[in-house]
Amino acid sequence: MSAADATPGGVTSTLHLDSTLADARVVVLAGGGGVGKTTTAAGIGLGLARRGRRVCVLTIDPARRLADALGLEGVADEPVQVPLEPSAPDGGTVGELWVVMLDAKSTWDGLIREYADSPEAAEKVLQNRVYKEFSGAVAGTQEYTAVEKLHELLQSGRWDVVLLDTPPTRNALDFLDAPQRLHSFLDSRALQLLLKPASGGLGLLGRGAGVFTGLLKRALGVDLLSDLVEFFGVLGGMSKGFGERARAVQALLAEPRTVFLLVAAPHPESLAEAGAFRKALSGRDITYGGLVVNRLTRAARHEDEDAVRDALAEALGDEDVAARAAAMHERIRRQATHDERLITEHLRGPGDEPVLLVPQLAEDVHDVEGLDRLVEHLFPAAG
Ligand SMILES: Nc1ncnc2c1ncn2[C@@H]1O[C@H](COP(=O)(O)OP(=O)(O)OP(=O)(O)O)[C@@H](O)[C@H]1O
Ligand SMILES: [Mg+2]
């Protein structure tokens, strides 16, 4: 444990990724918006690759500069390998780091091709106006396609471990339940009834909608409703395939080698959100690894204010500048103490939750060097 990862009062990390992820095949990073899920996923991925494993990070919407630095620019849905220089002078064993950016639409297209009865049927759906809207935009499809893609990556056997960076969902369960929810919807009686051909017609939707369709057609110049009927008709027919897949994905998430990590910022709302996530997860058949508290303000453990000012005055040779620097130093120390209190309070809530403290780095993390700096804190050298 480096001094940087201890708080002024001595709260230290109890989550050790080397052991927690020793056998992991899937690592899921969840948490609120903007707390550093993508950065942490990439950092853990790099750390594991530096330990000799073949790693793929499935990321969602990474910050532009990081995406560019990793070679993801303009590449959707295809894993790209990040060239890694050995970080240790003696070379050491370096595994592989791959990254892939989730593209919900192409994942959907792949699924439709796989489960449609024929290439013609698939083409019909792919060209369908409603489908195009649905696959690209509808809420929840990102959650669904993320786990789908995860499944596909693992099936390929090209990686030892796949990290899943999740979209900033308000509810972790949205994402866990997405495959099952989609299947239930496709399988639902309501949908079947809506689409079931009645006396040669198109089902309730088709029959009841004649006048309405006519109006829409005239108003919009497009036959949207018949696209809708066609879309759900074909999708409904694929329900069995989706159902099997949903079960496979669910089983994958429940495997002991699938480890969930939560990421939070040292803010009351973020920690409360993480607490709620954890509670929701605890009723599930999943392996919870622990909480990463990211962007912690760090300060040396014990410092006497006067001694700091004297040392600064001597180093800077200017009392005024030294006083200002000392004041800034004091603010940082207070913030560090504040962060620590929040974490201590949080830990009192959920019991002995393993936590990993990651400091706020001097700069944004936007390239492999930045990620390597993060790795030092994600995988601190023992001792
Ligand atoms: N420990 C850190 N030190 C400094 N900067 C950091 C740290 N962790 C994350 N950042 C920066 O914070 C920003 C947000 O991080 P990131 O994109 O990983 O968050 P996110 O949780 O994935 O966001 P979203 O919910 O929008 O997907 C990025 O610019 C990243 O470089
Ligand atoms: Mg992100």
Over residues 103-123, the pLDDT tens digits come to: 777 777 887 888 778 898 888
Residue 183 Cβ inside 6 Å of ligand 1? The answer reads no
Pocket test of ligand 1: the residue of 5, 39, 175, 298 to mutate, having most ligand atoms within 8 Å of its CB, is: 39
Compute the distance from residue 317 Cα to the ligand 1 centre, in Å. 38
pLDDT of residue 144: 72
Which residue's alpha carbon is nearest to atom 16 within ligand 1? 36
Quickly tell me which residue has 């396609």 as its tokens: 145
Mean residue pLDDT across the chain: 79
pLDDT computed for residue 282 by the predictor: 83
Please state the atom number of ligand 1 nearest to the C-alpha of residue 366: 31
Q: For residue 79, what pLDDT band results from cuts at 50, 70 and 90? A: very high
Supply the pLDDT for residue 172.
Answer: 55
Q: For ligand 1, what atom is nearest to the CA of residue 62?
A: 17
φ/ψ of 365, rounded to 5, equals: -95, 105
| Rounded mean pLDDT, 350-372 | 89
3-class DSSP state of 97: strand
Pick the ligand that lies closest to the CA of residue 263.
Answer: 1
Q: At what angle do helices 319-348 and 268-282 cross, to 10 degrees?
A: 20
Given a cut of 80, whether residue 71 has pLDDT beyond it is: yes
What is the domain partition of the chain in residue ranges? 3-178+241-302+352-378
Ligand at shortest distance from the CA of 358: 1
pLDDT at 145: 75
Fold of 3-178+241-302+352-378: Rossmann fold (3.40.50)
Count of residues in the chain? 383
The distance from CA 295 to its chain's CA centroid, rounded to whole angstroms, is 17
CA gap 100, 78 in Å, rounded: 6
The pLDDT, as a whole number, for residue 223 is 58
Ligand 1 atom index nearest CA of 42:
18
Least confident segment among 21-30, 191-200, 240-249, 275-284 = 191-200
In this model, does residue 84 exceed pLDDT 50? yes
CA-CA distance, 73 to 71, in Å (whole number)?
A: 6
In this structure, of 15-19, 102-106, 169-173, 323-327, the range with the lowest mean pLDDT score is 169-173
Q: Is 336 exposed, middle or buried (0-12, 13-18, 19+ CB in 10 A)?
A: buried
The rounded Å distance from CA 38 to ligand 1 centre is 7
Mean pLDDT value of segment 147-167: 89
User: Dihedral through CA 153, CA 155, CA 156, CA 158, nearest 10?
Assistant: 80
Nearest Cα residue to atom 28 of ligand 1: 364
pTM: 0.81
State which H helix or E strand residue 291 sits in.
strand 287-296
pLDDT above 80 for 140: no
Chain-centroid distance, C-alpha 138? 18
Calculate how far, in angstroms, residue 383's C-alpha sits from the geometric centre of ligand 1. 28
Q: Is the CB of 38 under 6 A from ligand 1?
A: yes
Cα 145 to ligand 2 centre (Å): 15
For residue 31, give the ligand 1 atom closest to its CA: 21
Ligand nearest, relative to CA of residue 66: 1
Query: What pLDDT, on the 0 to 100 scale, is given for residue 204?
Result: 47
**Does ligand 1 come within 6 angstroms of the Cβ of 285?**
no
Share of the chain above pLDDT 90, in %: 29
Q: What is the pLDDT of residue 139?
A: 45
Tell whether ligand 1 has an atom less than 6 A from the beta carbon of residue 375. no
Q: What pLDDT is recorded for position 135?
A: 64
Which of 365, 366, 368, 374 best tests ligand 1's pocket when mutated (most atoms within 8 Å of CB)?
365
Average pLDDT on 37-43 reads 94
Of ligand 1's listed atoms, the one at least distance from the Cα of 263 is 21
Q: Which ligand is nearest to the CA of 365?
A: 1
Per-residue pLDDT at 4:
45
CA distance 253 to 116: 26
Mean pLDDT confidence for 367-380? 94
Q: Smallest Cα–Cα separation from 245: which of 159, 163, 145, 314? A: 145
3-state secondary structure of 55: strand
- Sequence-distant (≥ 6) Cβ neighbours of residue 12 within 8 angstroms: 1, 5, 6, 357
Range with top average pLDDT, 114-118, 123-127, 258-262:
258-262
Q: How much is the pLDDT for 106?
A: 76
CA of 59 to the centre of ligand 1 (A): 13
The letter for the amino acid at 251 is: A
Contacts of residue 44, defined as CB under 8 A and 6 or more positions apart, other chains included, come to 17, 21, 27, 29, 163, 261, 378
Instruction: Please tell me the predicted confidence (pLDDT) of residue 136.
Output: 57
User: Is residue 94 classed as helix, strand or coil in its secondary structure?
Assistant: coil
- The conformational region for residue 199 under phi > 0 = left, psi -120 to 50 = alpha, else beta, is left
Question: For 283-340, how does the pLDDT look when each residue is reduced to its tens digit (9 = 90+)?
Answer: 888 899 999 999 998 876 556 778 888 888 888 888 888 888 888 888 888 888 888 8
Which range is least confidently modeled, 76-80, 240-244, 251-255, 363-367? 240-244
User: Residue 87 has what pLDDT?
Assistant: 63
Provide the pLDDT for residue 281.
82
Give me the pLDDT at residue 198, please. 46
